[in-house]
Every structure is written in structure tokens, then in C-alpha cells.
Structure 1
Amino acid sequence: MKLYSLSVPFLPVIIALVNYSSGSYVALVPTQIREYSSISLALANVGNGGYSQYEVIFHKSPKKGPKKELKSVITVQDNDTTTVSFKTESLDEGSYKFTIRDLAKPSETHNRFLEVFRKSSVILIQTDKPIYKPGDTIKFRVLVLDHETKPLIKLKSVNIKLIDSKDNLIREWPYAKIQNGIFQSQLDLANFIALGSWTIAVVARSGDTKYKSITIAEYVLPKHEIRITKSTLTTIKDKSLPLTIEARYTFGKPIKGSLYLTIDGSDLPNKTEINGRAQIRVDLQNIITDQSDSDVVWLNVTANVEEAGSGHLYQSSANIPIYQKPYKLTLQKSSEYLLPEVPYRCWLKLTDPLGEPFEQPETIKVKATRDIRLWLDKTYMIERKPDENGMLELQFETSDSTMKLDIAATYAGETTHFTIPSEMDQSGDRPFLKVSVLTGNPRLSQPVELQVHSSFKMSLLLYYVIAHGEIVASGKLHVKELRWLNFQLMTNFKMVPRASLVVMAINSNKLIKDVVQFKVHDLNSFVNVTLSSGETEPQKQLTVTAKSYPKSMVGLLAIDKSVLALGSGNDLTKQALFEELETPILASSYLDELEVSTTVFNSIVFNILNCYDNYYGG
């Protein structure tokens, strides 16, 4: 076996190419495995003229205990791909590897050693408040889930420690029993304790650890709430900024008194009377004097409310955005470059500055010019309104000599320019394959539309979807000598929150491939909570109704609203879950195409690499 090593920053990439007299196969093998999950390996049979049988062996050689082999024999039809999976269960210290053998050539084997990735669970910690004072009761909840957000059944208990700001162990739950993926408890704080940042530490048997900080401080709950908002979207060209100031006590009654405003440190001269609510128009011409190239200018607005009678002063601040334009116009591309003789698709997206589409948008005027060298080849003139999502689809023809496409989009009297260069300037004569995600916001259990371009006529296209270090979908497409095609892929929860799509094709005995990432930010569960009344009193009954899927567990948290004015971060959020689910992402931008000569090389084995966002795609 001849080995080629290609260096990637902080990550070695090993590619093995082996000689056979006829035919070839491609194997995708993971570099890492995790406990209590499935490990997948993909095999593609390319150019053998008929079906082939392969034996795949998963070797488990722990330091303690007997060795074990899990075997699977799979049949792969010609120009097809198949995935084989094994359950990992517990993975102790030791050696683990895959062996692949073509049964038509049993003396030839390919081995790939595997590293054990110890993060096998998702741990989340929730507290009832972000801040506590001496004498309070800390209530907390620990969730231990698998990578499909289901309770981790194999894990029976975790170790939990509460550590104060001086690194003293206050309390330990050495065998906190997990029931349906949850442990919850509480602790009464003493009246005289160390103030500052305390830590809740959760350690699972696998070594997975999660920390959460809470604040212990002598605080007084705020008795008032002042909110500063702007009633309309405001641009730099507007003469005034409409502001709404709401001042109320935390129990709901309005604050009466006098209102004074300060903007970016400068006091406004006028005083306004307020009775819970006041609306003010601020002259922008005297405030924003410097012209900025930024899309938004932020103004710091401070409201000072002097309570009538007592003279108590209440204060609150907010950053108010002032936009350059009342709209945002961007271009979503099917590919970063033009491909010769391949229609180019792109979408103009029109929204307000916050990203929301307009209910009644105006017409967008588009002038697109196609250039050949220094000559103008063709001009497109388009006038249309975007759809309900703010999207305007465009498509342009290209030729072998097209060098670039210039797009000028005019909306509300202002023109925005975009340029798409030709791939010929980037790759020269080197063959290439490009895959793009056409669906703007992929949703769970919905199809994702994908487009593949190539510099050569494809006959067979292989694709694999990799998420959490596993192959979660695969397939093949017979292309019939085309240079581009669209196809759809159905998403599933294993692709949440992010997945990588690998596409491959063979051209002139070279394996050409590309990788694209897409996000699926949905959950396969829901919860709706309603109250029997929006307002109640002490000693009165309040009914809370929660709706979700059958057999779901719903956790409830009731908290004094005024506590949230002192801090945040105590609750569970969708974003926090997605951050825990994130794992290293497949990298391919450093892998050039590999030569696969039918007379020199037969088999290609390359790793499913794990690499963080900053190494590929961002």
C-alpha cells in the first residue's frame, strides 16, 4: 500500500491508494468514534462491471477484557454505494480499528485505526435564578441527553459539585440519580457565605463535564422598570427619531414624574411629563453629524425619570439603531463562480434592515451584463417584484468564454452592484466539482435543494451527508453526461444543527470532490404553555396548561420577573442546546483531487475528518 500524507493545520490527513489489476472502490472511514452511538462506514463500488462483496470488521482491543470483532459482509452493486453501521457501546482504553477486505481478493486488506471521542452526552444545567443572596435557596436541574436530545438511558448517575468563589466544596451529590435524563435538587444557602461567582460542576462517567456559574451577591430587587423603544424604523436621512418611554413599578402601576433624556452623553434641554408612558421626537439633524459607511449607527439613549412627590430618580439606557437605508438588498449565489456553459442561478433578497420581508415591496430593476474578456457580450434587463419571502430569482446563460457577470440592482432609487467572476480565472485547466445549497433556510423533515456544477461531463455522482462524525445519509445519481444537475435531500434530526455534504465524481481516472455545509436549526419536539389568566393575586389559583407530544417531559420554572433585570443565563435556550450539539465539522478544502489510475491504483480510502468552523467555511 502506498501512503500519501497531506498536512492540514493541526490535523493530519492520510490518504491511501492501493493497486489492483481491475476495478476500484472508495471507502469513507471515520477517524473518531464515541461511546453508545453508531459508527458508519461507506463503500462505493466504481467501475467493476458488476456487484462486489466486501467484509468490514470493527476490531475492539481494550486494555482490560477480551478482544472482540464485529463483522459485516455487504454486497455493493456496480456504480453504487452502501453504508454499514456498528453499535459501539462502552469503549474502554485500548485499540480500535476498521479492516476492509474485498472478498474477490481476500489477501488484500486495508486497516484504519480509530480514536475514541469521549464526549458521548449533552449536559445542560438550568437554575431558577441567575443571582442569589445569602439565605436564598438554589434550585437547579441537570439534563443529560444523547446527540438526538433523547435521555441517555445507559447513564444512571452523575457527580455534581457546588463550589464557592474561594474554591471551597459546599456540597457534593456523588451519585445523583438520573431519571428520564433529568436530575433536579436544591440547596439552602447559609446567611454568611462567600460572595462572588460560584460554580455548579457536573461530571458524567464518560468524563463529559459541564460547568455553570451563578452569582452570589447582596442585592435588592429593583422596584421599577423603564423601557426605551423606537416606534418606527429610522434612517440617517430622517429628520427625527420617535421614541417611546415606558416607566412602571414592577407590580405594574405607572410611575408619574418628569422625564429627562441624554443621547450619547449629551443632555437634551427639554423636560417631559410622564405618567407611565411618554412619546418624544428627537431632532436627528443635530445629533448625527458625521457620515459613516457603516450600515447602522448606534445611539446610546438614557432616560432619567424623577418621581413626583419623592424626587427619587430612576434611570435606564438603551442602544437605538439608526440605519443607512430602510432596506437591505443582498445576493444569494448558487456558486461563487460562473461555470462555462452552465446556467448561473442567484437570488436577490430584499428585506428591512432587521431581515424581515416587506408586505408590499416595490419593483426591483436589474441590469446584468455578461463580459467576454474586455468585451460586453450580453445585457439582461429585468423588472420584477420579489415574492412573499423577499426573494427574486435570476438565471443567466454562460459560455466557454464568459469571464464575469455584473449585476446592478436598483431599488427605491438606489443601485447596488454585485460581480460574479468565472471559475476559469480560479482553476485554469484543473477539473473541479462544486456543490451549492439552494434552500435558504433548511427545515427539519423537509427537502433541501442542492445544485452540482462540474468542469467535465459527469456520469456518476456519489454523495454522503456527515453529521456528528457519522454518515447519516448517502446515495448515488446517474447523471447521463451532464455538467450540472439539481437534486433534493430529505433532512432528518441527525443533521441538526449542522451537517456536511460530500459529493464525488470521477473524471479521467481522477476522484474529484467537494464539501458544503448546511444548518438545520429545528427541534423534533415542541411545547406550548398557556395560563388561565394573564393577571392574578396571592392565594388565587392559576392553571398552567402545557401541550407537547405524548410521553414528553415538560419542566416548568416560575420566577419573579424583577430578578431577570439583574442578570440572565440561568435558563435553557435553543441556542445553548445547538452549541452543545455542535461537533467538529468535516474539512475538505485542503484535499486536492486524487489521481486514480486504473493501471496503477485501485482503492481510495480517506478519512471523515473533523475540523472546526474556522478551518472550513466558517
Structure 2
Amino acid sequence: MTKPLLYGLALLLCLPSFECGYLVLAPKSFRAGEDYKVSVGVEGMNNIVQLTGELKSIKPQTNTRITATGNVNNGDTTLLNFQVGGSDIRKDECICILYFSICMLVVGGSDIIQDECICILYISICMLVVGASVDDGMYNLTISGTDGGNSFVNTTTVERVRNDVLVLIQTDKAIYKPNQVIKIRTFAIDSNYNVVKRPITISIMDKNQNKLAEFKNKQSASGVIGVEFPLSDEPPLGDWSVQASTEGGSEMKTVKIDEYVLPKFEVNTEITPGYVLYGKQNQVTVKISAKYTYGKDVNAMAKVLLKGDSMTSEKTVNFKGSVDVPFTVEEMLGSDMVNDLMFGRYYWTEKNIDVTVNVTDVTSRFSILDDSSVKFYSYPQKIHLEPMNSMNIYHPGLPVKFRVKVTDPVGEPLSEYGMTVKVSQGYSGKNVQYVTINSAQWYEVSFTTEDQDASSNLYIQAEINGTDKKVANQASVSLNAYSTEGKTVIQLTNLDGFTTEKLDLDKDQNIDVKVKATGSLSLMSYVVLSKGKITAKGSLDFSSNLEQTIRLTVTSDMSPMANLLVYGVTNGKVKEVIVDVYEIMIDNGMKNKVSAQFSAPELRANSKVDLTVNSDPQSDVFVLAVDKSVMLLATGNDITKESLMDNFKMFTGEKKENDRPGFGEIMFRKKRSIIGGYGQTNADQILKASELLYLTNFDMKKNTFDVFPILQRAECANCGMAFAAAPDAGVGFMADVDFNIGPSFHNCS
């Protein structure tokens, strides 16, 4: 009999020769107020299996228990639903009503006196509290099942996370002068974009972390709280903190207090050409423009500094409105590097030159810095090679697909095509395919994996056939093998062969995912995971037909990202769990659709402008209008859809963009991967990377390598920015809209 795979305590009473088995998949954490769903599948048991689940706090001072029950047919899976915050929560609370002890005075010398007490009677009353609050911390998750004869029980540990709401803060500006007023809005939302109406406490601290103001337990009918804090005439200059906290969440924003001079103009820098191809272009031109915020040209002086690896070049010019400042290749790279390149003594593919422009208004002497860069390339063509599996995995026994294209060095189409790209498999190039490139589009290449060593990675290289390295780069990718004890694997793709779907809910709600297996499987099921929760499940029959299609209806509750996880158990002597995952990135998942429009694109000062906002019925609308001059100094304290998506990583287990040490961001980059042993990826890694725990007595291919979660990623003129909050549709955000104001408006601060 195969040895049980245990996370914690396990008890299994089944028939010999592995005639019964179970597989439990559970999110590794849960939140109060949200249902916690656990997938349970069984096979080899009789008829209907009765299931019981319990979440029990492991804190010694509490005895909180949450229970769930259900039934599952043999050979099928079901979801056990723990109602966290409902009547399934039970807590034992004990009160001491009598305590009696005998104490003796022990004298051990004139200076030694000791009381010794012995408890002889302790009486308490314990009450079972139903529907009690859920304590945070660690819980034992126990799942048991019985068909009247066979039975199993297994336990693992999950966490009730404290943060169950996302707190958002908006300030009217990111920088303030003495005597100005800091205007603050804040509110909390849950993982479904609904406003959570809890008391919020707002604190304001200066640069030395002295608490200058506290607005305690503020509430409103809409859930959105607004407060103001007037600055004194001599506040401590520097970075201040605005913190908002409520039960289950907190957030902090930084505002700057400074004796700033409001810029009256803005600077734009453009570099032409956009890149330099060595041997083709001899110079670049830095185009500088300086205009007041109301449109008038600035009389200015500009210092232009170019800095590379070993060369610095600077020029100073006077101009009105705009000017072109040229630089030769030798001025940017230096004469020594140019000579080395000319005579073939030095080889590189690309170099970056930093460009800093310092523009000073000759009238006010106010200066503005603008940074940009220009790249040098030593090759005219670039090969792009990508696996169509975004997880960087290949499945032994199934074809693996790649796509290749050729562009100029920065990704733009070439003026001429017709080249042939050589794509080879393996470091020795044992399998080779040739692709004729006739346009800038992607071209697909497919390789078989029957002869590939399943214990090693798959290496693919692409190069333009018959050319040297000075014409184009070489591109390569390496994929990990999905590792199993046998030869059966599952592969999930869309109908075009990709393992990632980008779905706009305003246009479509259904996706088709193709499931392909290389062998017979039982207990074939799928779950949809989003924001740390199982949101949907289904069953499949792979006993004979090894290729099927799942049509999945995507809902707003799955936004902004979800994983479709398909799993099964191999039929044969070895009962092994096989898993694959498909990623779904969802746009426009908020139910409350917000848009806005000004009555005119441009107005003079003291004119009236109307802003029309469209949103869900019964919405409370909140608008922020910002002077563009302020945004030239500092931005970042508004609430936007982009910032909300970054903060939403709290619900998925991934750290925010500026909180992740070491490894780069996984969710919103183009390529994602499961980190594991070199050359291999297995079911254990995929489940852990999907933030799932498992309990099973089936075989589970695993190792000890760490894994990381699979987690799917403004400047304006005088702007109107708005969001709306509705009781049913939740919050929604509009895109920025802007209008221009005539010259007399430029004195505002």
C-alpha cells in the first residue's frame, strides 16, 4: 500500500492494495466574513461518503471552532463550505464561579517567610457561544470522511489572516506649504470591491513621528471619510505620514511639507532618433521645449548632460520655447570606444546613455530637471523568442510551442523582411526548424518532446540563418520539465495554445480552456482560485477521452486575476496526483462603471466648467480637481485603478511592488515561473505556488525547493479625477479627464 502523504495528523482506515483514497485541496489562509471552501475528492469507497470538516484555533486561551458538513459520491469531488462569521462558529467560554485553596505560612529562619497554597476546589461554568467572532492566528483544519465502512481523517494547519479589508487613502496633493490645509479621504473595501463601513481612525505624524492629530473612529453613511488638517505657519519641513486604520486593515501615505516655489512652466525632452544604430547614425538631437502651464513660451537656459560608461559630455544653450541640441556619436561614446568599434577591437550589443536636461527660466531663475536616455545598438535586427507556456514549463510527451519574430532593436517593424530564422532544440541543436519571416508578426514553432530527457530542462535557441552576430542577436529560452513518477501529464491551453488568458469583462465573460492528458486519469476535477479563495469547481471524465474543453464563465468576483487548476489521479499501480494551471487576467472587473467628461476642453480663468460623472445608480461620487502645476512637483497620492491593483496583492498573498525584496514582481510581468529544482517542476510545487495546501494518501511528486506564488499587474493637466461607491455595485474608478485654463489662472498654488 502506498504510504500516506501527511500534513499533520492522519488516520486512514481503507481496504488493502489501495482500493480507496482521498485528495483535499485547501487555501492556506482564510478571512473573517468570507466563506472558506475546501475541495474534497474520494475514490474506491462505497456509494455516498459523509464528510465533516472542522477549523479549530490552536491558541491555548481560546477554543474557537468552525464546522462544515457535506456528502460526496465515490469517484467525485465536492466543496465543503466553512461559513466564517456565520452560525457554524462555536466558541467555548468558561467563567470561574468558585476557587478555594488552603495556604500555609512557612518560616525558614527569621528572614525567610513563604506562603504555600494548595487548590482544593475549582468550579467553572462553560458556555458554547454560537456565531462568535473569529480569532486571528493559526487553525487546525481537520477533514474526515466515512462511507459506513471505510473512513479517513487528516489534519493540516491554516491561518486566519488579520487583514481582511484594503484601506485606501487619497490626499488632494502630495506636497504642501506652511499654512495650507491637508485634505484627506479614506475608505476600506473588501476583496469584491465593496465598501466596508467600519469606523476608521486617521492619524497625522510629522517627520519626527510626532502625532499631531488623530481623528478617532470616524464614520459616514457612504463609508468614505473626509478630514482636513490645517498646517501652522512654521511646521517641521520634511516627509509627514498620514495613516488610516480600521479593524482588519491599515494604510499609510507620505506627504511632503516644504517651502516650495510652484513651477509655472513644464519641460519636455525628446531625443531623435529614438535609438542609435552604430554605423548608421552619426548623431542624436535632444529636442527641448519649455512652456508655461497656460501655454506661453519660456525664455530659458538649458544645460544638457550626457553620461555613459566612460564618457561625459555637456552643452549649454539659450532659447525661447524650444531648441534642438545635437551630439555626435564621438561626443557620446568617446573617441577611444569609437576607434575600437571601427577596427573591431571591441564588441557589445547595446549601451545606455543617460540624458539630463536642466532648464532655468531666466526671468524667475526657477529651474526644472528632466531625465531621459538613449540607447546605442551594435546590431540592426532583434530576434524575439517566447514560450507559449507562460509558466516556463513543458510537459514530456506533448508538443511544446514557441513563437518567434524579428524587429529592429527597440521592437519596431523593419523596413524589409524575408530573412530565415533557425530555431534549434537542445544545446547541440539536434532538432532544427527554419522559419521564413515575411513581416513583424509572430510565427509559431512546435517541437516534440518524446525524445527529451524528462529529468532535464528544454533549451531552445533562435538565430538568423547565415548571418553573424553583428546583424542580429541570438535569443534563447529554457523550460523546466513537469516531473512525474510515471508518464502521465496534464496540459492546459487556450484554443490558440497559450497558457494565459487576458479577458475584458466589458466585452466577454466566457473562456474555453483545452485540457489534454497523456494517460487515463480518475478524480479529474478543477477549481478556480482567486484572491486566496476557491470560487468555483467542476468535474471531468478522463477515463477514455484524453482531450476535453472547459467552458468557464468568468465573474467579477474573480477579478482582477484567477487561476484555473485542473488535477486528477493516475490509473494504474501508482496512484499519483497530476496537476496543471491556467492563468486568467481580468480587466474591467469592477461592477460600478464610472466615466466623466468636462463641458469644455479649455476655459479662461473665472469661467464656469461642468463635470458630468456617470456611475451606478445610488452611487456616492467623489471628485478631486488638481492644478497641473502642483503635479509637476509631486504625484502619487491619488487613488487610481492601477494603484488599487497593486494594493490588491494583499488578497493574493503577494507583496506590493515596493515591498518585495529580492525576487522581481511575478504577477504583472510578462513572464511568470514557478521556482523549483533546476530542470523540473512537479505537482507539489504547482499547488504550493497556487497558495494551496493538500491532504492525500495518493502519491504526490514533491521536493524541498522553495516556491513563490503564481500571481497575475498619471499625469494630467488641470485634472478631474473621480471614484464612486454604491451599495450593490461597490467602488469604481474613472480614467483621468483634463481641461486647460487660460493665462490668468497661473497664479494659483
TM-score, normalization: structure 1?
0.80
Residue type of the partner of 2:250?
T
Distance 1:268 1:147 in 2: 52
The partner residue of 1:18 within 5, 12, 29 is: 12
Distance 1:440 1:235 in 2: 35
Distance 2:263 2:347 in 1: 38
Asked if 1:474 corresponds to 2:471, the answer is no
Asked if 1:135 corresponds to 2:193, the answer is no
C-alpha displacement of 1:109: 4.0
Deviations 1:67-119 (A, max 9, x none): 66544323x34433222323312413688554433241387544455432111
Counterpart position of 2:524: 461
Distance 2:146 2:5 in 1: 25
Counterpart position of 1:189: 231
**Matched position secondary structure for 1:578:** helix
User: Greater Rg, structure 1 or structure 2?
Assistant: 2
Counterpart position of 2:608: 541
Asked if 1:321 corresponds to 2:315, the answer is no
Counterpart position of 1:518: 583
1:432-451 maps to which residues of 2 (within 5 A)? 433=489, 435=491, 438-440=498-500, 442-445=502-505, 446=509
The partner residue of 1:148 within 192, 204, 208 is: 192
Counterpart position of 1:116: 160
Residues 385, 462 of structure 2: 8 Å contact kept = no
Distance 1:2 1:16, change over 3 A: farther
Counterpart position of 2:398: 342
Distance 2:675 2:358 in 1: 53
Deviations 1:551-571 (A, max 9, x none): 444432112211122222211
Counterpart position of 1:284: 329
Distance 1:170 1:524 in 2: 39
Counterpart position of 2:657: none
C-alpha displacement of 1:458: 4.3
C-alpha displacement of 1:124: 0.9
The partner residue of 2:33 within 36, 42, 54 is: 36
Distance 1:270 1:579, change over 3 A: closer
C-alpha displacement of 1:280: 4.0
Distance 1:54 1:363, change over 3 A: farther
Residues 164, 190 of structure 2: 8 Å contact kept = yes
Residues 406, 419 of structure 1: 8 Å contact kept = yes
Counterpart position of 1:394: 445
Distance 1:229 1:471 in 2: 49
1:575-594 maps to which residues of 2 (within 5 A)? 575-582=642-649, 583-584=652-653
Counterpart position of 1:81: 77
Distance 1:224 1:369, change over 3 A: closer
Counterpart position of 1:365: 420
The partner residue of 1:569 within 632, 636, 643 is: 636
User: What percentage of residue pairs aligned between the two structures are identical?
Assistant: 20
Structure 1 stretch displaced more, 250-259 or 134-143: 250-259
Residues 306, 312 of structure 1: 8 Å contact kept = yes
C-alpha displacement of 1:253: 1.0
**Matched position secondary structure for 1:479:** coil
Residues 298, 321 of structure 2: 8 Å contact kept = yes
Residue type of the partner of 2:29?
Q
Residue type of the partner of 1:511?
E
Residues 523, 568 of structure 2: 8 Å contact kept = yes
The partner residue of 1:555 within 598, 618, 622 is: 622
Deviations 1:429-470 (A, max 9, x none): 665746566155522545566566767554653332323321
Residues 431, 512 of structure 1: 8 Å contact kept = no
Residues 165, 198 of structure 1: 8 Å contact kept = yes
Distance 2:282 2:221 in 1: 60
Distance 1:350 1:381 in 2: 14
C-alpha displacement of 1:135: 0.5
**Matched position secondary structure for 1:555:** strand
Unmatched segments (≥5 aa) in structure 1: 6-12, 595-600
Distance 1:574 1:474, change over 3 A: same
C-alpha displacement of 1:203: 1.6
**Matched position secondary structure for 2:646:** helix
Counterpart position of 1:531: 598
Counterpart position of 1:9: none
Distance 1:134 1:64 in 2: 51
C-alpha displacement of 1:214: 1.3
> Paired residues, what number?
587
C-alpha displacement of 1:550: 3.8
Residues 395, 490 of structure 2: 8 Å contact kept = no
Distance 1:328 1:27 in 2: 45
Distance 1:359 1:554 in 2: 48
Residue type of the partner of 2:535?
V
C-alpha displacement of 1:28: 1.4
Distance 1:96 1:422 in 2: 35
Distance 2:347 2:156 in 1: 56
Deviations 1:332-382 (A, max 9, x none): 243746555422212225667666x759884563333457x9794x54332
Distance 2:536 2:348 in 1: 45
C-alpha displacement of 1:181: 3.3
Counterpart position of 1:10: none
Distance 1:440 1:169, change over 3 A: same
Give the CA RMSD over aligned residues.
4.3
Distance 2:683 2:302 in 1: 68
Distance 2:31 2:198 in 1: 18
Asked if 1:163 corresponds to 2:205, the answer is yes
Distance 1:605 1:118 in 2: 34
C-alpha displacement of 1:141: 0.8
**Matched position secondary structure for 1:138:** strand
Unmatched segments (≥5 aa) in structure 2: 86-132, 338-345, 655-666, 668-673, 685-694, 713-749
C-alpha displacement of 1:250: 2.9
C-alpha displacement of 1:330: 3.1
Asked if 1:202 corresponds to 2:274, the answer is no
**Matched position secondary structure for 1:564:** helix
TM-score, normalization: structure 2?
0.67
Distance 1:240 1:15, change over 3 A: farther
Residues 9, 154 of structure 2: 8 Å contact kept = no
Residue type of the partner of 1:253?
K
Counterpart position of 1:275: 320
Distance 2:485 2:407 in 1: 40
Residue type of the partner of 1:276?
G
C-alpha displacement of 1:406: 4.5
Asked if 1:380 corresponds to 2:433, the answer is yes
Distance 2:70 2:213 in 1: 53
Residues 55, 71 of structure 1: 8 Å contact kept = yes
Distance 2:435 2:230 in 1: 69
The partner residue of 1:242 within 267, 270, 285 is: 285
Distance 2:500 2:51 in 1: 39
Distance 1:361 1:88 in 2: 62
Residue type of the partner of 1:584?
G
C-alpha displacement of 1:407: 4.4
Structure 1 stretch displaced more, 212-221 or 79-88: 79-88
Counterpart position of 1:416: 474
Residue type of the partner of 1:408?
A
Residues 125, 143 of structure 1: 8 Å contact kept = yes
Residues 137, 160 of structure 2: 8 Å contact kept = no
The partner residue of 1:331 within 356, 376, 386 is: 386
Distance 1:534 1:483, change over 3 A: same
